[in-house]
């Protein structure tokens, strides 16, 4: 699948960034601009997200294949790779299979294991709305309060709402993403034989339910050279909630790679 992507900067090092579930390349504008003086950043919309194509299949393997196609089309022989949440699982899988191409790996707030998540409930709340009944995004955000209590999550969800002429629509493939959230996220497990021996940094949010620091032993099984950095005042979206700290960690880790 040919993904939509945006390129920032012309630095000497290549950095590919993969967003998480319900995200898009637009969610990375601030970070990409901050890092663009040191890196050439390639930030795609993954399948069923942003303005990339929709497809009924949504899986880690399919997204890894999409990434492989993008890397081939850009003729990147070696690069650094960063992935958040769902994008982190995709990045890990790519690094396992193409270790010589990945100069260094950064994973944000996810470990190589399955998770029980609230994503199904979030997607159900989005799907339950008849968008033809709303004229403004603020009205939709208000209507989502019943199904999505956290205002930060509602604000994030609303980034997927777009206007086509005189009506609003979700730009993500809700059906495919619900199936992914209900099945693959809760059963994902890295093969015990999979390893990436390159430099790796896991960045976790200290307030996140994903508790990356508790997975140190599992992480080191698959990433022997991994470092783990926890950001004190951040939850799952570290790059958004603590942008300065996140950029310092990423830049400091990658600048010598």
Token pair belonging to 105:
């790996």
Q: List the catalytic residues.
A: 85, 175, 236
Q: What is the pLDDT of residue 186?
A: 64
Q: What is the pLDDT of residue 229?
A: 98
Q: What is the mean pLDDT of residues 225-248?
A: 96
169-178, 180-189, 229-238: segment of lowest average pLDDT: 180-189
CATH number for the domain whose boundaries are 5-113+190-254: 3.40.50.1820
Q: How far is Cα 185 from Cα 68, in angstroms, rounded to an integer?
A: 21
- Cβ count within 10 A of residue 216: 13
Task: Map residue 72 onto helix, strand or coil.
Answer: helix
The confidence band for 118, taking pLDDT boundaries of 50, 70 and 90, is confident
Q: Are 15 and 42 in contact (CB under 8 A)?
A: yes
Q: How far is Cα 222 from Cα 95, in angstroms, rounded to an integer?
A: 11
Closest by CA to 15, choosing from 222, 250, 252, is 250
Q: What is the pLDDT of residue 64?
A: 97
DSSP state of 188: -
Q: Are 148 and 140 in contact (CB under 8 A)?
A: no
pLDDT of 85 higher than 70: yes
Q: How far is Cα 79 from Cα 214, in angstroms, rounded to an integer?
A: 29
What residue spans in the chain does CATH classification 3.40.50.1820 cover? 5-113+190-254
Token pair belonging to 199:
């430099």
């Amino acid at each position: 699948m040919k993904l939509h992507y945006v390129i920032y900067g012309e630095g000497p090092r290549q950095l590919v960034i993969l967003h998480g579930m319900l995200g898009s390349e637009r969610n990375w504008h601030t970070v990409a601009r901050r890092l663009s003086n040191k890196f050439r950043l390639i930030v795609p919309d993954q399948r069923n997200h942003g303005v990339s194509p929709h497809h009924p299949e949504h899986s880690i393997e399919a997204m890894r294949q999409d990434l492989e196609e993008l890397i081939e089309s850009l003729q990147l022989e070696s690069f650094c790779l960063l992935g958040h949440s769902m994008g982190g699982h995709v990045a890990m899988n790519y690094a396992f299979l193409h270790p010589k191409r990945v100069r260094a790996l950064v994973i944000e707030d996810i470990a190589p294991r399955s998770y029980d998540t609230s994503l199904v409930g979030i997607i159900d709340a989005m799907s339950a709305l008849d968008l033809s009944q709303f004229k403004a995004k603020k009205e939709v955000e208000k209507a989502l309060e019943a199904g999505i209590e956290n205002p930060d999550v509602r604000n994030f969800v609303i980034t997927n709402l777009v206007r086509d002429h005189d009506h609003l629509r979700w730009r993500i493939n809700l059906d495919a993403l619900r199936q992914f959230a209900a099945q693959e996220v809760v059963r994902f497990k890295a093969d015990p034989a999979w390893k990436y021996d390159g430099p790796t940094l896991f960045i976790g949010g200290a307030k996140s339910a994903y508790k990356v620091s508790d997975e140190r032993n599992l992480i080191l099984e698959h990433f022997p050279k991994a470092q783990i950095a926890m950001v004190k005042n951040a939850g799952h979206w570290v790059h958004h909630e603590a942008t300065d700290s996140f950029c310092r960690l990423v830049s400091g880790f990658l600048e010598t790679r």
